[in-house]
Amino acid sequence: MSEDTKWYVVHTYSGYENKVKANLEKIVENRGMQDYIVDIVVPMEEQIEIKDGKKKATLKKVFPGYVLVKMIMSDESWYIVRNTRGVTGFVGPGSKPVPLSDDEVKAMGVEEFAPEVDYDVNDNVRVTSGPLENFIGIVEEINLEKKKVRVSVSMFGRETPVELELTQIMKI
């Protein structure tokens, strides 16, 4: 059906999300379907609870009753996911699963997208936002993992290294 992997939402019995994930991972491994079903995620977020005056961090499900599956949709992969114990079906009209858009995946924070940068080290750039807006500088270092860039900006007659977000600057 489709050539590239997309994220799909699978509806499960409430409280069975982690069991569904474990079962699916086992089936994928046993049948050698790693090329079709690439990733299975139960979206979680950390919440801090205060009990008896002590802070305690717990993980809560963001979408109870749902599991996200990154897969290539084929008849076989659909059948495997659909017939996993605890799965009630895919989210979508009828029996046709609808993949999540890139914007929806970004909003959920399930998958990290590396921002595209059109500048390199030693390029002249202009700061587009923040307290140093409209300052001009030279890129010293780009850190894609942290999504930060170090720019040497001329302030008060001297060069000052400043750490900014990748999206705060643009190439001149």
**Model pLDDT for residues 122-142, shown as the tens digit of each residue:** 999 999 998 999 999 999 999
- pLDDT tens digits along 13-62: 999 999 999 999 999 999 999 989 999 999 888 888 888 888 888 888 88
DSSP 167: G
1 — pLDDT class (breaks 50, 70, 90): very low
In CATH, the architecture of 6-108 is 2-Layer Sandwich (3.30)
Q: What is the mean pLDDT of residues 160-169?
A: 90
Per-residue pLDDT for 3 more than 70?
A: no
The pLDDT value recorded for residue 2 is 45
DSSP 100: P
In the predicted model, what is the mean pLDDT of the chain?
A: 88
What span, in angstroms and rounded, lies between the C-alpha atoms of 126 and 140? Answer: 14
Per-residue pLDDT for 100 more than 50?
A: yes
Of residues 53 and 70, more confidently modeled:
70
Of 170, 150, 148, the closest CA to residue 162 belongs to: 150
The pLDDT value recorded for residue 112 is 58
Of 42, 47, 39, the closest CA to residue 15 belongs to: 42
- Taking phi first (over 0 means left), then psi (-120 to 50 degrees means alpha), and beta for anything else, what does residue 87 get? beta
Domain range summary for the chain, segments of one domain joined by +: 6-108, 124-171
Q: What percent of the chain has pLDDT over 70?
A: 94
Per-residue pLDDT for 96 more than 70?
A: yes
The pLDDT value recorded for residue 11 is 94
User: According to CATH, what is the number of the domain 124-171?
Assistant: 2.30.30.30
CB atoms near residue 73 (< 10 Å): 21
The pLDDT value recorded for residue 18 is 95
H/E stretch holding 165: strand 158-165
